[in-house]
Amino acid sequence: MILVDSSVWIDFFCSAPGRAGDELRRMIRDAEPFALTGVLVAEILQGLTRDVSRIEHYLSQWEMLEPREFRTYREAAAIFRLARSKGVSLTTIDALIAAIAVEHRASVFTLDKDFSRIARLTGLPLHALPMA
């Protein structure tokens, strides 16, 4: 399973998508299993200035990975503390997204460099863009 980050969805919905948007199109076309999580949906929708209801409907079609219990938030805090101890600043949201991915054994498809830092610290798998 691949958890697709808001940075990739933003590229996907852009009028001139880049490689990440093209890769997400391929994943959709090939019915590759991927998912979202609630905080990602919120990040995507909060930045919209047009076509809100159309994009809400589109995003609602995909599987949602959500925190299961207290342990998800405990893991997010542990990721955040580990990063801070190594001098890496993270947002709470990115730590939570990483914890959700770990819990569901999902890789993260993102353009956000913070997830590369998380991956180096925790072994979080990342979905790599195919070579151009």
Q: Where are the domains of the chain?
A: 2-122
Q: Token match 């709470």: residue?
A: 92
pLDDT at residue 49, rounded to an integer: 87
Query: In this model, does residue 131 exceed pLDDT 80?
Result: no
Long-range contacts of 92-96 (CB under 8 A, 24+ apart): 93/39, 93/43, 94/118, 96/39, 96/67, 96/72
Q: What is the pTM of this model?
A: 0.93
Q: How far, in Å, CA of 33 to CA of 15, rounded?
A: 25
Q: How many angstroms separate the CA atoms of 51 and 119, rounded?
A: 34
Fold classification of 2-122 is Rossmann fold (3.40.50)
Report residue 80's pLDDT band, with 50, 70 and 90 as the boundaries. very high
> pLDDT band at 76, cuts 50/70/90?
very high
pLDDT of 132 > 70? The answer is no
Nearest of 124, 132, 83, 117 to residue 100 by alpha carbon = 124
